[in-house]
């Protein structure tokens, strides 16, 4: 009796346990908000060791005697970190350890008058120390030095054609090494406005191309003008943020993407960059971002509550870059080939979680995230795992493949769920002409193309050995058949038979 009861309890416990066991499906839903993950070849999130550790938060609610409420942009130069406060119209300067240095709020115009900023939204500091400020509220871009001596005031260009722009609302500004000024203005969807260093408007670059499918084009032919006017929603998306790297490539982020477009891009594994939240533009405005991963860099590949809304890109060491997602507070890091290395971060109230992340920048290997909701800057530093991946990029790009392999080997020890280092190891073996080993790595990484290449090399090697034998065998077989045919015919001829036609000769 008692035994039976114990048995029953045991059964119940087992049933409960079975019920509470995480099912296989749970693995494919979104990971916990701030844990690090990556995406598998098939687009499922896979947990990964933490690549970055939260180190500290710098509270910016009161800096230098000012009450800061509306932080809007952050810019990291070599020695200083600049943060734009929009409500006060003041630019604060910090050193790289985020200690307050000084601020800039008054400007001396070229004609001697003084001026202040009204709701500025973006700023940039060139390597010569020139400060570029998108003074949105005053519809102008100011170029000055850190003492506030304005050398150029960029107003709404007169030669602006083909746009019904009433007010010029510059939000972001960058300048390249030649002094050309690139401006992103609100409500301008023709691309990035480009000005010469003297402030002449020269045109737009990087206008996102608009593609209309042929069927819609056909439909439009039969529409009335009213209908046509109602459906002219084919406006290109506008950039929300731009950065410039040392090679004068402009990195623009776009958040106005429709969910359906993103889903189709992800599902079709479209790597053309037709729908993309990030672009790397060359001087001519052509998108040259490399997309060699299984999926284009678009942030999250699966989501429950909306796709990633990319608001900023941070250009990190060794040509890696990180995109900041304003929707879930994630930070997606890719290498220069567009392969996702790790994703971390999340929204919340725990340490290291953000409320309204709006800007991301690298200081060395460390990541700084500006959070306007918390009115603070969060700092993250790489873990051993993250550092290995960053270093591997460096060694690989420098051609030190052995060292890179050592890094990747260590990465695989920490995370065997990550295909990319295995491909690296496979490439190394391939370059050493160890094709069999390379194939094993490629198979592990599910990289069929590389596997196929390695196999081709093996086949070629084998073929060069065995080809003469194969040809010999074929010739021998052919001779046998021909010989048999001749023999049969000769025998028939000798016997004086006619060439009868049939299956059974007997």
Partner 1 sequence: MKQTWKELKYSLYVTVHPFKGFWDIKYEKEGSLKTAMILLAATIVVQIISNLKTGYLFGGVSINYNFLRTVASSLFLFFSWCLANWCLTCLSDGKGTFKDIMMFTAYSLVPYIILQFIMVIVSNIFILREQTFYDMLGSLSIVWVAFLLVTGMLTTHHFTLSRTLVVLAFTIVGMIVIALLIILVFTMFQQVVGFVATVIDEAVQRVSY
Residues near partner 1 (CB under 8 A): 1, 4, 443, 448-449, 451-453, 455-456, 459, 503
For residue 436, the minimal CB distance to partner 1 (Å) is 13
Residues β-bridged to residue 344:
331
Q: Which long-range contacts (CB under 8 A, 24 or more apart) does 411-416 make?
A: 411/385, 414/49, 414/384, 414/385, 414/388, 415/48, 415/49, 415/385
Question: How far is Cα 402 from Cα 300, in angstroms, rounded to an integer?
Answer: 32
Query: Is the separation of the CB atoms in 394 and 401 below 8 Å?
Result: no
Between residues 77 and 440, which has the closer beta carbon with respect to partner 1?
Answer: 440
Using the minimum distance from each CB to partner 1, give the nearer residue, 106 or 456.
456
Smallest separation, CB 451 to partner 1 (Å): 6
C-alpha distances out from residue 201 to 123, 156, 182, 226, Å: 19, 9, 10, 35
Output the smallest distance, CB 433 to partner 1, in A: 17
* Shortest distance, position 455 Cβ to partner 1, whole Å: 5
b/e 393-426 (16+ beta carbons within 10 angstroms → b): bbbbeeeebeebbbbbbbbbeebeebbbbbbbbb
Please identify, using beta-carbon distances, which residue of 336 and 453 lies nearer to partner 1.
453
Of 11 and 475, CB closest to partner 1: 11
Element (H, E) at 304: none
User: Which has the closest alpha carbon to 384: 65, 52, 152, 111?
Assistant: 52
Choose between 10 and 223: whose C-beta lies nearer to partner 1: 10
Q: What is the CA radius of gyration of the chain?
A: 32
Nearer to partner 1, 401 or 444 (CB): 444
CB 388 within 8 A of CB 410: yes
Q: How far is the CB of 273 from partner 1 (least distance, A)?
A: 24
The two three-digit tokens of residue 1, written as one number: 């009796």
Closer residue to partner 1 (CB): 4 or 217: 4
165/489 Cα distance (integer angstroms)? 93
Q: What is the dihedral of CA 295, 297, 298, 302, to 10 degrees?
A: 40
Nearest distance in Å: CB 497, partner 1: 24
Q: How far is the CB of 449 from partner 1 (least distance, A)?
A: 6
Nearest Cα neighbor of 445 from 462, 459, 428 is 428
CB 454 → partner 1: shortest distance, Å? Answer: 9
Q: Which is nearer to partner 1, 145 or 443 (CB)?
A: 443
């Amino acid at each position: 009796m008692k035994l039976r009861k114990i048995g029953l309890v045991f059964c119940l416990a087992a049933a409960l346990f079975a019920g509470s066991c995480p099912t296989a499906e749970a693995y494919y839903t979104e990971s916990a908000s701030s844990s690090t993950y990556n995406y598998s070849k098939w687009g499922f999130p896979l947990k990964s060791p933490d690549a970055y550790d939260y180190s500290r938060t710098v509270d910016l609610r009161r800096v230098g005697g000012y009450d800061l409420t509306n932080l809007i942009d952050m810019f990291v130069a070599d020695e200083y970190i600049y943060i734009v406060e929009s409500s006060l119209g003041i630019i604060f300067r910090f050193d790289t350890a985020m200690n307050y240095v000084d601020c800039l709020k008054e400007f001396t115009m070229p004609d001697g008058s003084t001026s202040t900023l009204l709701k500025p939204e973006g700023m940039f500091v060139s390597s010569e120390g020139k400060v570029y400020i998108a003074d949105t509220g005053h519809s102008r871009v100011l170029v000055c030095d850190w003492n506030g001596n304005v050398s150029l005031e960029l107003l709404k260009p007169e030669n602006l054609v083909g746009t019904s722009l009433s007010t010029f609302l510059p939000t972001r500004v960058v300048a390249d090494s030649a002094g050309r000024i690139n401006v992103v203005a609100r409500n301008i969807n023709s691309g990035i406005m480009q000005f010469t260093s003297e402030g002449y408007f020269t045109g737009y670059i990087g206008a996102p191309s608009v593609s209309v499918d042929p069927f819609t084009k056909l439909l439009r032919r039969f529409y009335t003008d009213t209908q046509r006017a109602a459906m002219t929603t084919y406006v290109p998306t506008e950039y929300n943020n731009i950065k410039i790297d040392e090679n004068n490539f402009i990195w623009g982020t776009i958040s106005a993407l429709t969910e359906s477009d993103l889903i189709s891009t992800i599902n079709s594994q479209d790597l053309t960059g037709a729908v993309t939240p990030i672009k790397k533009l060359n001087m001519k405005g052509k998108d040259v971002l490399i997309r060699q991963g299984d999926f284009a860099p678009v942030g999250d590949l699966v989501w429950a509550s909306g796709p990633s809304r990319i608001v900023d890109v941070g250009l990190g060491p060794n040509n890696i870059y990180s995109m900041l997602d304003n929707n879930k507070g994630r930070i997606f890091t890719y290498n220069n080939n567009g392969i996702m290395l790790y994703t971390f971060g999340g929204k919340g109230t725990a340490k290291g979680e953000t409320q309204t992340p709006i800007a991301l920048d690298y200081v060395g290997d460390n990541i700084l995230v500006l959070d306007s909701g918390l009115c603070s800057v969060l700092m993250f530093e790489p873990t051993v795992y993250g550092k290995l991946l960053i270093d591997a990029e460096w060694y690989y790009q420098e051609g030190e493949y052995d060292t890179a392999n050592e890094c990747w080997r260590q990465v695989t020890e920490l995370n065997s769920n990550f295909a990319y280092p295995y491909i690296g190891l496979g490439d190394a073996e391939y370059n050493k002409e160890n094709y069999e080993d390379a194939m094993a790595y490629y198979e592990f990484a599910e990289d069929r193309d590389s596997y196929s290449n390695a196999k081709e090399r093996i086949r070629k090697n084998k073929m060069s050995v065995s080809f003469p034998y194969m040809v010999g065998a074929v010739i021998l077989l052919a001779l046998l058949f021909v010989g048999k045919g001749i023999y049969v015919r000769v025998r028939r001829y000798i016997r004086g038979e006619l060439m009868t036609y049939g299956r059974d000769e007997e």
